[in-house]
Chains A and B, each alone.
Chain A
Amino acid sequence: MSEATKPVVKDVTTMAAPVSLKFRARAGKDLSRFLRGMKERRIVGRVCPSCNYVYVPPRGACPTCGCPMGDERVLPETGTITTFCIVNIPFEGQKLKPPYVCASVLLDGADVALFHLVGGCDVNDVRMGMRVRAEWVDEADAELSLETIRYFVPTGEPDRPLAQIREHI
């Protein structure tokens, strides 16, 4: 091999090619109503006019019926944990210090569980069927965000029997 055709770099095995893209998300009509409710510290769901399921957060269409949502339904801030997990692993972008609990909370009167955090108790005390209520941030800190609910805390009421929430798990 002549001097001129010798490779300049030998044994290239990896190559860094960082990519950075910016996006602006659009919430759409239904989610926008929900987020405006959050700013007022209210939980706004919507009812499917065909199957009467109550969705929270509302979605652009009922996945079962494929139709647009109907009436708005303001939901109470209390509900039941249908299922949960304890997060023990640290990862990039994490907001809370592990261990903490992520849970599906079936608000009273809703048919679909809301995914959120559970706080105000030891992670080992969290269980399926446990009654919880929303712990809001202060009025001045309310945002167009689900984070206006800081997390759900136990109410101390007796657990709901699993048979009653099974179809929502």
Chain B
Amino acid sequence: MSTYNTSREEIAIVSFVELTPAEASQLDEIETIQTIVSRATDGAGIARDRIGFTVSGSCDMLVGRPFSWIMAMDGAGVSKPIEESHVEMDGAWALYEAWVRLQHGDIDAALIYSFGANAAEDLMQVLALQLDPYYLAPTGINAAEVAALQASAMLAGGATERQFAEVAVRAGLAVSVEAALAEPYTNRPLRASDLPRFSDGAVAMVIARGDYARSVCARPAWIQSMAHIADSHSLGVRDLSKAPSLEKAARLAGVGEKPTDLVEVHAPFGPQEVLAIEALRAAGLHGTAALNPSGGTRAAQSVMVAGLAAIGRAASAIHRGEASRTVGHASSGPALQHNLIAVLEERS
């Protein structure tokens, strides 16, 4: 394993909260942030003045308002002032920035939050705007159609629609494999049960160093390692039936070094879960490894939140004493272009 991807300081996820879609749908961005941040800090016995760094992940294109995250920051209590940053990405990359920041060893804890209130009428079309603006975006292809291209490439490479259906059942989006396979195609070879159910959502997390982590959390989820790798932005130069950046990130993070109890994968579309797990296995994933026991993020997919949610759920399993080594995955960009892996461990 590359030491670059390993925690130099002892750093752990000590608190993680998710807002339910029903709660999130009632609140504006400031109210949302206020609610989750207070639950993840005050609610977990973490003093605000111990937090030396705050970083958020969100996307202005979801609400159609420039710099919406600056307004939303009011909910975190910011005019002290605080040291703060933002990524226009899934909150998992905000976690990565906070983890790097904590390696400096001069602050105790960092707060990470992520929110996605989907105000867009056609989110699939909004997501397509992340495609390259010269060759792909002008074709009008939307996110579901990109995912269908990938699923087709997977089928050509030997995957089966039955595998996609099994993932849909695990996510609670179909009652049985047969029922899933009986659904009509929405974007061939995708069916409704392969698509995400978009919802509003928000999550907040606190990571902390060494003794402070131990003092606020009975079973900290220690971040053993974290790595993220991106494939080419252009769909045309990729083999969409594979997720090489995911496999490479998993290798860099040392996923295969020990047996894993639980994996939470962030696959916006069903077939991508099949692909992600294949890539993790190729990188050495072994052990009992329960796959997406939370049901994954697709049944209530909040864009920019789902990846951090997957990692947070992998941490929560350690907090609850249900697992001692877990892997969390987040993806970004079209067709699993960019992938982040976090390896979390319990330590005595």
Taking beta carbons and an 8 Å cutoff, which residues of A are in contact with B? 15, 17, 19, 21-31, 59-68
Contact = CB atoms under 8 A, between A and B. Distances in A.
B77 A61 contact: yes
A59 B121 CA distance: 25
B187 interface: no
Contacts, number: 91
- What does DSSP make chain A's interface, helix, strand, loop or mixed? loop
B31 A29 contact: yes
Given A21-B64, A61-B30, A66-B48, A15 B134 contact: yes
A48 to B, nearest CB: 11
Interface of B: 26-34, 37-38, 48, 61, 63-65, 73-80, 117, 119-122, 125-126, 129, 133-134, 137-138
Contact of B63 (A25, A62, A63, A66): A25
B77 A62 contact: yes
Contacts of A59: 30, 74
A68 B34 CA distance: 7
Given A17-B138, A24-B121, A66-B34, A31 B28 contact: yes
B28 A28 contact: yes
A23 B75 contact: no
Contacts of A62: 74, 77
- For B77, B78, B133, the residue with the greatest tally of chain A CB atoms inside 10 Å of its CB is B77
A47 to B, nearest CB: 16
Q: Top 5 A-B pairs ranked by shortest CB distance?
A: A66-B77, A28-B28, A60-B30, A60-B31, A23-B64
B78 A63 contact: yes
A84 to B, nearest CB: 22
A61 B74 contact: yes
Given A61-B33, A62-B77, 19 more contacts: A21-B122, A21-B126, A21-B129, A22-B120, A23-B119, A24-B119, A24-B121, A25-B63, A25-B64, A26-B119, A28-B27, A31-B28, A60-B28, A60-B75, A62-B74, A63-B78, A66-B37, A66-B77, A68-B31
A93 to B, nearest CB: 14
